[in-house]
A and B are shown apart, each in its own frame.
Chain A
Amino acid sequence: MHSDIAGGPIGEVVVGLTDVRKEYSDSVALDGVSLEIRAGEAVAVMGPSGSGKSTLLNLVAGLDRPTSGSVAVHGEDLGRLSETGLALFRRRRIGMVFQFFNLLDDLPALDNVALAAQLTGTKAPQARRRALELLDELGVAGRRDTYPAQLSGGERQRVAVARALVNRPALLLADEPTGALDSRSGEQVMDLLLDLNQIGQTLLLVTHDQRLATRCASRVVEVVDGRIARESAVARS
């Protein structure tokens, strides 16, 4: 694996959630959650469906704002940032991988990846070169001109991971990255995430797959009904 994926020296706090509460019009998704994630860690959030895992991830990504409490990433209080500020924060600091890939259907695989680099001001030729490197490392370089609709689920998720990594994010967020994949593709994505963490990539991972959690994560946080029910360190298998 390459060695240029960013990650601070282990120990520095990357994510800090303090007494975070998130309400929707008809429900409370998170209720008094505090959590700290340090650089180099791989944290898996687990819990039953509807317990608030995705909500937690979205708050960390600055895709949503808490009703109360604060979210800080790399020492920056997201609550102080405007929408535009959040967008700029996302493009530089965060890489995201979703259960259902969320690639842009209008663009072929390579452009999906390169676009994210262009957003941070990288010139188009460099962006494409970097995107191609990543696709190559993830084994989907041969599909670079294919549109997402024609890719298999595993291929789509690898393109999505490449897109998430293209700006060397401080934090990689993954929301059930294997949830929509067959077991073999899921296995490969798991290996990929593990490799990334081992070379220093900080990782926040939502899953309800016990195997994924124990294999990739150094710490497991269990969420039930919007509260952290249990935290445990993992001796990786």
Chain B
Amino acid sequence: MNAVWRVARAAVRRRMLQTVVIGVVVWVSAATVVMALGLLASSAAPFDRAHDEQRGAHLAAVFDSSAVDRLAGTSGRAGVEAAAGPYALAGVEAADGGGFGVAGELTAVGRADPAGAVDRVTVWSGRWVGGPGEIVLNLPPGAPVAPGRVVDLAGGGSVTVVGLAFSVSQTADAWVTPEQATAWGSTASQMLYRLVDHATAADISRGEASVSTGLPLLGTQSYLAVKQRFSQEAGVYVPFLTVFGALGLAVAVLSVANLVSGAVVAGYRHIGVLKALGYTPNQVMAVYLVMVTAPAVVGTALGVCTGDLVGGPLVRDAVEGFGVADTGVPWWVDLAVLVGMPALVAVVALLPALRARRQPAAAAISAGSRPGARRAPRVQRALSGTRLPRSVSLGLGVPFARPARSALTAAAVVLGVATVTLAVGVTLSVTAFRDAANPTRANQVDVMAAVPGGTPADGPDDPLSELAPRLGDAQDEAVLRAAPGVLGVVASSQQLVRLVGGNETHVVRFYRGDASAVRPRVWAGAWPARGGEVAVSAKFLTQTGLALGDTTTLEQRGKRVPVRIVGVVLENVTGSVLGTWETLESLLPGSRATAYQVTLDPDADRDAFARAVAAGDPGIRVTPPRGGTSSQAVVIISTATLLTLLLGGIAALGVFNTVVLNTRERRRDLGVLKSVGMTPRQVTSMVVTSMAGLGLVGGLIGLPLGMVVHRVVVHAAAPINSPDLLLSVVPDLLLSVYDAPTLVLLPLAGVGIAVLGALVPARRAARMTIAAALRSE
């Protein structure tokens, strides 16, 4: 073993370039894999873990209180594993919008005990409610709120926040004693169920049918929808990172394979000498395994550290609010990569190492390096018949001398270009999505007229806190219509509304009049034409499990209005539910508009408009045009850029390595060419050409590959889970992002990667003195 170690160590040290290239490629790959695996692992697992720990409810059902006496009996119905309740349900709202630190009306559930058969709520600060006038808020651990606060209620009276607790299944916004809920005039009762079968939405529906038969069911909430909501942030990243992780791994494997087999081929004579000296076949194999595995181990260690450092914050972002204490990349990901990556390298190295083991020594020693000698001349002859410059035609012939190495190099370039294509596509799609959902309409301004319902002011500095219209709704609209340069005015009101049976509040925007100029585009169905109809965002459907055509019930201050979903819009900042003014009238009669969207003449003087508005009603405010990019878009675009640079870099390193090997092997040829008068510039151009050709081929294959992957990723990331909506809601807009110039430029990325990788070793080869070149063995 001593002799093996000796030779391998010398090779690692003396072939620094090869060692460093292997180390860096493995480093970057390991970091990419750690990040991707870390995010994948954290995106789904924490919810399931926390849900199991709490014995969370699979189904939370709300019934009319008239049936309260019969509810406990549902625990024995088919498919029910355990049940808890009935608990009286009541709405509670702070006198000032933000009194509870959360917006709007809260659903308070009357529960004497946080434990029980289902939904064992974790009290993480303060204590559970013990009497009237006390309340516990449902907040994830770590929320910046302390118990002790006394909150005045909208209906009179006050409550003291005595504790903070967290329910993973989100069965309530707050808890009070059962007596308190009844005192607040509860008309509904909650039952919580754990179901025997709960894997799919269909299972949950069956459970719902089973427990509600013959009972006045008002609404339900499936844990799958809650889970979806929790995983949603990560949900957009997951397909994206999975693909990038897979690409990273593939590029890494290819590059390592290329590197290692290159090392073996370059070591052809070296292997022969070792064998002549009396190294056994296994010893020779061991030398070559150690040579590549040693830098791979170091690269992996660095990669895991880098992946933890960069990936940790990403993972923390992704699991934020799960109520589980996750501190970053899970330890087993680190462990798996630490063990797996060097193992992978060793496996990849094994094939060429086995070749080294089998290699007949005699041929290796006497032949030195002359493989492919038969193939090159024919191609070379054909090329020299062309009208290309001599150095270019010589260069283009080089890859044919080593077809396997050229193929591996080209494959790395293919994946590099595919990555660039994917990243460009994802960036364009994210941008297109944002523009479609939230178009920047240059000639529109928003005029804020009131604090949108339930939105707490962020303190005295918040510009909204001073909003206090002096005039009524109709007069304000008249002031705007009369202002100079105004073409049209659409009034709207934004409210936080809950769905009966659910606990999440949704931002609902109601439009008055013809909203066609200001509303988001409808991708499926139609825009609501009358009261009782709404359009919703695609994401809303995923969150609630509802579908186009379904009816649900909006609830505000005890008032309920059934609405039918008639259209689907893309996600947008104006709200996830969009309706007409008639619906608002039924829900909150006499509401005034909270904002006006004003369309201006493109030539209008905006200052004059703003002055006229301020003169008409100083209590309403012209807001600057909305702009900026959502933080999620920023994260996706910057991740895409980062990974593109990394994977493009790995591919370029692969080319670099190939050129180093090629020029080393052809050192004597290069010397001969120079001795007959080839200039250094010609040598450089010959070597660079050899790789640029490969790069172009790689680019032409990588482009369509990247486009296909982009299509898959967009479909997977689209905020839709209902297959029949898929085609209509993932519109062409998001998929047809590649225009003609982009399509021409992207294959050139392959040439770019190749030239980048080839330039340095090519120039080194060009500068090598003739004597040194001819002298080398």
Contact = CB atoms under 8 A, between A and B. Distances in A.
Decide whether A and B assemble into one complex: yes
Interface of A: 54-55, 58, 61, 63-64, 83-84, 87-92, 94, 96, 98, 100-107, 111, 115-116, 118-120, 124, 149, 163, 175
A64 B365 contact: no
A90 B15 CA distance: 28
Nearest to B12: A106
B272 interface: yes
Contacts of B15: 106
A96 B14 contact: no
Interface in B279-319: 279-283
Interface of B: 2-3, 6-7, 10-11, 13-15, 269-270, 272-283, 360-363, 365-366, 368, 776-777
Contacts of A103: 273
A100 B280 CA distance: 23
Contact of A87 (B278, B365, B368): B278
6 contacts: A58-B361, A84-B281, A87-B280, A104-B10, A106-B13, A115-B6
Contacts of A175: 366
A113 to B, nearest CB: 11
B278 A90 contact: yes
B277 A63 contact: no
Given A100-B777, A102-B269, A88 B278 contact: yes
Contacts of A106: 7, 10-11, 13-15
Contacts of A119: 3, 277-279
A87 B273 contact: no
B276 A102 contact: yes
A54 B366 contact: yes
A92 B278 CA distance: 8
Contacts of A104: 7, 10, 270, 273-274
A165 to B, nearest CB: 13
A118 B362 CA distance: 23
A107 B278 contact: no
Contacts of B276: 61, 63, 90, 96, 102
Contact of A107 (B7, B272, B283, B361): B7
A90 B281 contact: no
A89 B275 CA distance: 11
Given A102-B276, A104-B7, A83 B281 contact: yes
B624 to A, nearest CB: 67
A57 to B, nearest CB: 9
A29 B270 CA distance: 24
A104 to B, nearest CB: 6
B360 A64 contact: yes
Contacts of A64: 360-363
A119 B11 CA distance: 17
A106 B279 CA distance: 16
B339 to A, nearest CB: 29
Q: Which 3 A-B pairs have the closest CB atoms?
A: A91-B278, A58-B362, A106-B10
Given A84-B280, A116-B277, A105 B14 contact: yes
Given A87-B280, A116-B278, 15 more contacts: A55-B362, A58-B362, A87-B278, A92-B278, A98-B365, A101-B777, A102-B273, A102-B276, A105-B14, A106-B11, A118-B6, A120-B278, A124-B2, A149-B776, A175-B366
Contacts of B11: 106
Nearest to A163: B277
Given A107-B10, A118-B2, A83 B277 contact: no
B132 to A, nearest CB: 85
B278 A63 contact: no
A94 B2 CA distance: 21
A92 to B, nearest CB: 8
Interface of A is mostly: helix
B365 A63 contact: yes
B275 A87 contact: yes
Contact of B275 (A63, A115, A116): A63
A102 B281 contact: no
B525 to A, nearest CB: 72
B524 to A, nearest CB: 67
Contacts of A84: 280-282
A76 to B, nearest CB: 15
Given A100-B777, A106-B7, A106-B10, A63 B360 contact: yes
Nearest to B357: A83
B355 to A, nearest CB: 14
A149 B10 CA distance: 15
A147 to B, nearest CB: 8
Nearest to B364: A63
A208 to B, nearest CB: 15
A102 B365 contact: yes
B280 A88 contact: yes
Interface centre among B2, B11, B272, B276 (most CB of A within 10 A): B276
A101 B363 CA distance: 15
Contacts of B283: 87
Nearest to B274: A104
Contacts of B365: 63, 98, 102
A100 B272 CA distance: 13
Given A63-B276, A98-B365, A118-B2, A111 B10 contact: yes
Contacts of B14: 105-106
B2 A91 contact: no
A105 B368 CA distance: 14
A2 B35 CA distance: 65
B111 to A, nearest CB: 75
A63 B361 contact: yes
Contacts of B270: 104-105
A87 B6 contact: no
Contacts of A149: 776
Given A58-B362, A96-B276, A100-B777, A115 B7 contact: yes
A55 B362 CA distance: 8
A106 B19 CA distance: 13
A87 B7 contact: no
Contacts of A92: 278
A135 B363 CA distance: 29
Contacts of A91: 277-278
Nearest to B279: A87
A55 B277 CA distance: 17
Contacts of A94: 278
A233 B233 CA distance: 91
Contacts of A55: 362
A88 B11 CA distance: 23
A64 B282 CA distance: 17
A101 to B, nearest CB: 8
A92 B280 CA distance: 13
Contacts of A115: 3, 6-7, 277
A100 B366 CA distance: 9
B7 A63 contact: no
A20 to B, nearest CB: 14
B267 to A, nearest CB: 10
B274 to A, nearest CB: 8
Nearest to A54: B366
B361 A118 contact: no
Contacts of A58: 361-362, 366
Nearest to A62: B361
A116 B6 CA distance: 11
Interface centre among A55, A83, A103, A175 (most CB of B within 10 A): A83
